[in-house]
């Protein structure tokens, strides 16, 4: 049930997101209606520097956050007095970036005399889908992005069971580095894309996807852990080899760049699918979810990859799971997902801080655990898993 006030209206939550390089503000109510939003992306700026520079990102957040929040309120035709609570990402993320959002969020809470709701960034990604689709607890979630890669059971808004996570580089970071090393941004049609988008689009133009061989990843490890560092090192080895062989210099691309992108995408997708299938096998073997509730939700920037989504949808159909992808506009970092997590917490009456001294004492965290670890429990289950046959992508 949605908690309502004496004037019989849903609560309105303002959310602030500054965990990395996007300054976002979203305003939603507890029915899931998006009332207003604004976002300032630093992507093109950081692209020129070859990656995110934390101190620079922090400066840009400070320059933009007031305008972004004002724009969100204006788009909702609301003022701060109309807001019932302020929700802000406080963990995990870049500390300097998080601090900007936390400081501004506490400022709005103080001057408006509003409750404050600190938000775990990955928990917000995990439940955003419930704003637009009817997804009942519990469900399986796969979060794949530039900062994270994990599989977890979402028991409720406050309880998560972690089945597997990245042992090294997250997939989005690997795709960005491979795209940068391949100099895909020098091709006009890819110049404004993220690394992952560029690799996906380049892969679709491949003429020989089997030109480069990559060893399958962790196929003998019976767990749900992810590893992408080997993929990055192998891709770098091939790029170095081709640059020497074809005498590539300056901003020129290796002649087989598209084929390499296709090979990278295939091995990455198969690895993610195998880990996800094992998580499903674990859930099915332990009856953690009733058959009618077995659902896989995917979110995060890499979840926007259509080839990955198609492959995971096929795995779901074979494993008896419903497949739901968080809408693309909410897969990447944004203020709306933070506001919705605050709304869910308002409904459940959990994680809301009303005491002023307690609000002022809220700090940010660079790293933060995601729920209760069931990684060892999955390993002990020793589940043998053969990846379902995937169509070409």
The verdict on 81 and 176 lying in the same domain is: no
If asked whether residues 165 and 275 sit together in one domain, one would say: yes
Q: Give 234-272 as a DSSP string.
A: HHHHHHHHHHHHTT--TTPPPTTHHHHHHHHHHHHHHHH
In a shared domain, residues 227 and 241? yes
In a domain, residue 130? The reply is no
Q: Do 318 and 337 fall within a single domain?
A: no
Percent of the chain with pLDDT over 70: 95
Spatial distance between the Cα atoms of 24 and 94, rounded to a whole number of angstroms: 15
SS3 348: helix
Same domain, 280 and 353: no
226 touches 169 (CB < 8 A): no
Owning domain of residue 71:
12-123+332-369
Residue 110: give its domain's CATH number: 3.30.420.40
Tell me, what's the pLDDT at 31? 97
Per residue in 228-287, pLDDT (tens digit) is 999 999 999 999 999 999 999 888 999 999 999 999 999 999 999 999 999 999 999 988
- List all residues 6 or more positions away from 259 whose beta carbon is below 8 Å from its beta carbon: 206, 207, 208, 209, 211, 212
Residue 3: pLDDT band by 50, 70, 90 thresholds? very low
133, 272 Cβ separation under 8 angstroms: no
Answer yes or no: is 289 within a domain. yes
Same domain, 203 and 156: yes
CB atoms inside a 10 Å sphere around CB 156: 12
Whether residue 67 is found in the same domain as residue 40: yes
The string of pLDDT tens digits covering residues 46-79 is: 555 556 778 888 999 999 999 999 999 999 999 9
Q: How many CA atoms lie within 13 A of 220 on its CB side?
A: 1
Report how many domains make up the chain. 2
Does 176 share its domain with 305? yes
Adjacency order of strands within the sheet including 12-17 = 34-41, 22-29, 12-17, 85-91, 116-120
Rounded Cα–Cα distance for residues 110 and 180 (Å): 43
Indicate if 68 and 145 belong to the same structural domain: no
Of 48, 51, 44, 42, the residue nearest 23 (C-alpha) = 42
């Amino acid at each position: 049930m949605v908690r309502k006030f004496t004037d019989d209206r849903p609560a309105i939550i303002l959310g602030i997101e500054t965990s990395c390089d996007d300054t976002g503000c979203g305003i939603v109510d507890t029915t899931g209606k998006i009332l207003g939003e604004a976002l300032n992306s630093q992507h093109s700026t950081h692209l020129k520097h070859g990656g995110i520079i934390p101190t620079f990102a922090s400066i840009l957040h400070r320059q933009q956050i007031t305008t972004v929040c004002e724009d969100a309120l204006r788009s909702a035709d609301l003022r701060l007095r109309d807001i019932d609570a302020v929700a802000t990402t406080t963990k995990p993320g870049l500390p300097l970036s998080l601090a900007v959002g936390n400081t501004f969020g506490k400022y709005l809470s103080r001057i408006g005399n509003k409750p404050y709701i600190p938000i775990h960034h990955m928990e917000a990604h995990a439940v955003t889908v419930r704003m637009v689709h009817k997804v009942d607890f519990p469900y399986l979630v796969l979060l794949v992005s530039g900062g994270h890669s994990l599989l977890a059971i979402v028991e409720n808004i406050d309880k998560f069971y972690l089945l597997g996570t990245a042992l090294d580089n997250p997939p989005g970071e690997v795709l960005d580095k491979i795209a940068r090393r391949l100099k895909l941004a020098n091709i006009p049609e890819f110049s404004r894309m993220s690394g992952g988008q560029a690799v996906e689009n380049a892969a679709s133009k491949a003429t020989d996807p089997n030109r480069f061989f990559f060893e399958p990843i962790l196929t003998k490890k019976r767990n749900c852990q992810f590893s992408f560092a080997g993929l990055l090192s192998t891709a770098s080895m091939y790029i170095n080899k081709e640059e020497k062989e074809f005498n590539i210099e300056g901003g020129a691309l290796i002649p087989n760049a598209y084929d390499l992108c296709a090979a990278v995408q295939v091995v990455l997708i198969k690895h993610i699918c195998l880990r996800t299938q094992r998580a499903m096998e674990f859930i099915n073997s332990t009856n953690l979810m009733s058959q009618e509730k077995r659902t896989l939700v995917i979110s995060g920037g890499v979840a926007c990859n259509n080839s990955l989504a198609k492959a995971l949808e096929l795995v779901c159909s074979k494993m008896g799971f419903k497949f739901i992808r968080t809408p693309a506009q909410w897969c990447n970092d944004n203020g709306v997902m933070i506001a919705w997590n605050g709304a869910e917490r308002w409904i459940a009456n959990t994680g809301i801080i009303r005491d002023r001294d307690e609000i002022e004492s809220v700090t940010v965290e660079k790293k933060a655990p995601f729920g209760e670890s069931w990684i060892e429990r999955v390993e002990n289950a020793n589940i043998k898993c053969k990846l379902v046959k995937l169509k070409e992508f």
